[in-house]
Structure 1
Amino acid sequence: MDTALILLQGLMVIGLIAVGVHYKGMAIGLFGAVGVLLFVLLFKIAPGSVPVNAMLIIMAVVTAAGAMQLAGGIDYLVMLAQRVIRRFPRQITYVAPLTTYGFCVGAGTGNIYYSLMPVIYEVSYANKVRPERPLALSATAGQLAITSSPVSAATAAMVGLMAPLGFKITDILAITVPASILAILVAAFVMSRRGKELEEDPEYLARLAAGEIAPPGADAQTKTVTAEGKRSALIFLAGVVFIVCAGIFEALRPMVMSKGKMVEVDLSQLIQITMFTVAALITALCKIKAGDIVKSPLFDSGMVAVVALFGVAWMANTFIAANETVIVGGLGELAKQAPIMIAVALFAVAAITTSQSSATFSIIPIGIALGLAPATLAAMWPAVVGVFLLPTNGAQIATVELDRTGTTRIGAAVINHSFLLPVLLYTVVAVGAGLGLAALR
């Protein structure tokens, strides 16, 4: 396809995202659907894939979280977290991304972040910490965790590519895990100083003055933790722990008959089943009405995120599917010219395809063909956190919608969003530290 035409299509995608950001909320998804229509009518391009699994996971998790919120579970979790961080409230900026990273490493998917997101927000806001800091760090840490997880799809791809070179999964993780933890600590230090303090942020002050959000601590002063609240939180946490354990231990993944043979239930489906079951148990055991779940703020913001993700990811996938050969091929040629560009290519392909696995399969073989040491390739692999370069991921959209203070945002220029700095810091520090560790082998 003509380069000018690809550029025109790319500008259209960015422009429609910008328009959606301007109108806020689910508008980003609505204008994304407009983009799909334009691709079909003007460019005769077939609609791309819809991120159905991501949408269903968001729906299941926010249903469970909404039920927990109604029962008072959020108040209980906030109370527990506050006990830990009350003396050092800024520590949430460090604790939240490290916790998210650990959970996602265990489960093999960044989708675990959805379960932690409401608690991170409530704790940071109750302690008057700018929510953007721990939320942006944590959402991105969930993606960085993919390269540290022994059970993620991307790791499976990497292990398969490295095995013929005699480089085992333990060798890969020995580089990616310490490099990633260091990257999170450095990014948390930087992000703890990012932006105005919450009580000085103009968008937050405007929302506070308009009565759109209660002052920090207002709920904590008027609400008491009930037995039902504690019970709902424990049920919710039990669901999260089960998902994490199922990601780590294969024996916990249910085996079912499919096409005449026994296979494991897909982890994304297991998350959905578990979270709906959690919502059902909370409804039955914690004295809430199922019909009221849709009225909870968490469910409301989650459904907005589903619509937003539907449209904008559909548009992005349509553009990518039509031009993937040209774009990825060009990046591969660039990497051949300068081996260090493997990291750049991994970052860029992950951003374009929004898939760590796709970037791994596309670029790592080029590095192998160039004769780069396996340890060097493992060191550059965390660059696939570039999946968050553009704000088209479900976790990003859901986070923006959840943060009612307005500190976590997508800027008018699209690329200037709250997750950009964590993405860049994680990439630079993790790759840099990884190369240092590789040199010591």
Structure 2
Amino acid sequence: MLGLEIVVVLAAIFLGARLGGIGIGYAGGLGVLVLCLFFGLKPGSIPIDVILIIMSVIAAIAAMQIAGGLDYMVKIAEDILRKNPKHITYLAPAVTYFMTLLAGTGHTAYSTLPVIAEVAKEQGVRPSRPLGIAVVASQIAITASPISAAVVFFSGILEPLGVGYLELLAIVIPTTFAACMITAFFSNFMGKDLKDDPVYKERLEKGLIKLRGESNIEIKKGAKLSVAIFCVTIFAVVTYATLISKKVGIIVDPALPRNEAIMVFMLACATLITLLCKIDTGKIISASTFKSGMSACICVLGVAWLGTTFVEAHIDGIKTIASDLLNDYPWMLAVTLFFASMLLYSQGATTKALMPAALALGVDPVTAIASFAAVSALFVLPTYPTLLAAVEMDDTGSTRIGKLVFNHPFMIPGIIAIALSVVFGFIVGGMLL
């Protein structure tokens, strides 16, 4: 029966990957249905907190987008990239990393990818080099964002083990950023130079490649204010989470627990942006960030629920088999998270489905934190939206998916960046904890 249950889980995940987008959430729900009705498993815990945090953050970001805040951020990013075009391979991942770090979602990368592709092309740099590491950096930064659902959930289950919210951020932010920057160095040597690429030469001869030049983004009146409100809210979230932490202990009995605080802070942020920037609330639900965020909620609901249903039903057996293995080879947790996230398609879903089980097995906090970046292996299957967007926006043809499916320009940078993040995590985590 166990073998058949595994087949059901994998079949649901592969079906979801084939459907694409929100379809992986649908297929996850189908998998839960089959496991419960035909195999008698009890439904696992639903990732309610993760979903609600995503919804709240996306509500604020969508309001900021309608106010013109995202356009303003993109304009700043474009100015940075165009003022230092020769360093595009380093600046591109830095820009996407910090935009994701700030916003708590990698979907902000969409708006900067065309700029990265254009600047690289203008400089004669193979666009796949900066685009590859930029997409990877936007995914890894989720595990360092103070307001991402994955980080908030993970910090919540680490607190009983004596690791505070700020301690987690103090480890994951420098380690993941350093890993991305070092990977950017290696990216400079990946693939043929643009002028030697046969696909580029062919497309150039056919007149399929054009230089668009600097984009003309009109900055709305309330754009800067909306970004300021959002940044102040993030600072308030981090400050409040610090004050209520058991280690700091300034607020001993908080009226608002951390998860609920993040939700209400973000909704309050959206309210202030709506009022002070005078935006039409009817337009918020049509914003691209709102649509992608709500799609992410369905995906997390389906696949994380599928994962917890299976894991919770067999937790005793998993403990028996995995505890000795993880004690002898702690880095195997990172490998497990890597392959799980590759299939579950979400950092939040992977963290929710596997991290509680890992900690229940007796995995120490340093190992768990060091392995955390491995939940970002969403680049392995070339079907993730930001990955596909990067391929679509590079008209030189250098950012392409190979015939073997897995031989694409995101694979090697992604593996290197995650491996370095894990190594650095063990080093820094061992020093701080």
With the length of structure 2 as denominator, give the TM-score of the two structures: 0.70
Work out whether residues 97 and 134 of structure 2, in 8 Å CA contact, stay in contact via their aligned partners in 1: no
For residue 34 of structure 1, what is the aligned residue in structure 2? 30
- In structure 1, give the amino acid aligned to 2:113: S
CA distance in 2, matches of 1:197, 1:245: 46
Work out whether residues 326 and 363 of structure 2, in 8 Å CA contact, stay in contact via their aligned partners in 1: no
CA distance in 1, matches of 2:231, 2:212: 23
Q: Does the alignment pair 1:67 with 2:66?
A: no
Q: Does the alignment pair 1:327 with 2:318?
A: yes
Identity, in percent, stands at: 25
Deviates more, 1:293-302 or 1:172-181: 172-181
For residue 24 of structure 1, what is the aligned residue in structure 2? 20
- In structure 1, give the amino acid aligned to 2:25: G
CA distance in 1, matches of 2:47, 2:291: 20
For residue 95 of structure 1, what is the aligned residue in structure 2? 94
Deviates more, 1:414-423 or 1:382-391: 414-423
Q: Deviations over 1:364-414 (max 9, x none)?
A: 36xxxxxxxxxxx847851243434579xxxx9xx9456772649999x99
Work out whether residues 13 and 28 of structure 2, in 8 Å CA contact, stay in contact via their aligned partners in 1: yes
Q: CA RMSD in A?
A: 4.8
Work out whether residues 380 and 434 of structure 1, in 8 Å CA contact, stay in contact via their aligned partners in 2: no
Deviates more, 1:271-280 or 1:182-191: 182-191
- In structure 1, give the amino acid aligned to 2:294: M
For residue 289 of structure 2, what is the aligned residue in structure 1? 298
Work out whether residues 28 and 302 of structure 2, in 8 Å CA contact, stay in contact via their aligned partners in 1: yes
Q: Deviations over 1:231-259 (max 9, x none)?
A: 222222222222233334449x9999xxx
Q: Does the alignment pair 1:56 with 2:52?
A: yes
Task: Indicate how the Cα distance of structure 1 residues 404 and 227 shifts in structure 2: closer, same or farther if over 3 A, else same.
Answer: farther
Task: Indicate how the Cα distance of structure 1 residues 326 and 417 shifts in structure 2: closer, same or farther if over 3 A, else same.
Answer: farther
Work out whether residues 331 and 345 of structure 1, in 8 Å CA contact, stay in contact via their aligned partners in 2: no
Task: Indicate how the Cα distance of structure 1 residues 429 and 243 shifts in structure 2: closer, same or farther if over 3 A, else same.
Answer: same
For residue 220 of structure 1, what is the aligned residue in structure 2? 215
- In structure 2, give the amino acid aligned to 1:186: I
Give ranges in structure 2 of 5+ residues lacking alignment. 118-126, 200-209, 341-349, 393-399
Quick one: which of 50, 74, 79 aligns to 2:75?
A: 79
Q: Does the alignment pair 1:364 with 2:363?
A: yes
Deviates more, 1:132-141 or 1:80-89: 132-141
For residue 240 of structure 1, what is the aligned residue in structure 2? 234
SS in 1 for 2:362: helix
TM-superposed CA distance for 1:35, in Å, is 0.5
CA distance in 2, matches of 1:271, 1:438: 25
SS in 1 for 2:218: coil
- In structure 2, give the amino acid aligned to 1:59: M
CA distance in 2, matches of 1:291, 1:196: 48
Quick one: which of 115, 120, 132 aligns to 1:126?
A: 115
Q: Deviations over 1:30-61 (max 9, x none)?
A: 11111111011110011111111111122122
TM-superposed CA distance for 1:9, in Å, is 1.6
SS in 2 for 1:227: coil
Task: Indicate how the Cα distance of structure 1 residues 385 and 224 shifts in structure 2: closer, same or farther if over 3 A, else same.
Answer: closer
Alignment of structure 1 residues 419-430 onto 2, 5 Å: 424-426=415-417, 428-430=419-421
For residue 212 of structure 1, what is the aligned residue in structure 2? none
Q: Deviations over 1:52-74 (max 9, x none)?
A: 11111221222222222122111
Task: Indicate how the Cα distance of structure 1 residues 291 and 58 shifts in structure 2: closer, same or farther if over 3 A, else same.
Answer: same
For residue 308 of structure 1, what is the aligned residue in structure 2? 299
TM-superposed CA distance for 1:98, in Å, is 5.5
SS in 1 for 2:254: strand
- In structure 2, give the amino acid aligned to 1:315: L
CA distance in 1, matches of 2:157, 2:401: 27
Task: Indicate how the Cα distance of structure 1 residues 190 and 379 shifts in structure 2: closer, same or farther if over 3 A, else same.
Answer: farther
Alignment of structure 1 residues 278-293 onto 2, 5 Å: 278-293=269-284
With the length of structure 1 as denominator, give the TM-score of the two structures: 0.68
Task: Indicate how the Cα distance of structure 1 residues 148 and 10 shifts in structure 2: closer, same or farther if over 3 A, else same.
Answer: closer
For residue 155 of structure 2, what is the aligned residue in structure 1? 152
Alignment of structure 1 residues 263-278 onto 2, 5 Å: 263=254, 265-278=256-269
Q: Deviations over 1:92-138 (max 9, x none)?
A: 444147637976xxxxxxxx622xx3443322332326656324323
For residue 181 of structure 2, what is the aligned residue in structure 1? 185
SS in 2 for 1:127: helix
CA distance in 2, matches of 1:90, 1:403: 17
Alignment size in residue pairs: 380
- In structure 2, give the amino acid aligned to 1:231: L
Q: Deviations over 1:260-303 (max 9, x none)?
A: x9335222222211221122122212222111111111111111
CA distance in 1, matches of 2:99, 2:356: 20
Q: Does the alignment pair 1:137 with 2:131?
A: no
- In structure 2, give the amino acid aligned to 1:235: I
Task: Indicate how the Cα distance of structure 1 residues 30 and 299 shifts in structure 2: closer, same or farther if over 3 A, else same.
Answer: same
Work out whether residues 366 and 430 of structure 2, in 8 Å CA contact, stay in contact via their aligned partners in 1: no
CA distance in 1, matches of 2:72, 2:156: 34
Alignment of structure 1 residues 401-440 onto 2, 5 Å: 401=385, 405=389, 407=391, 424-426=415-417, 428-433=419-424
For residue 208 of structure 1, what is the aligned residue in structure 2? none
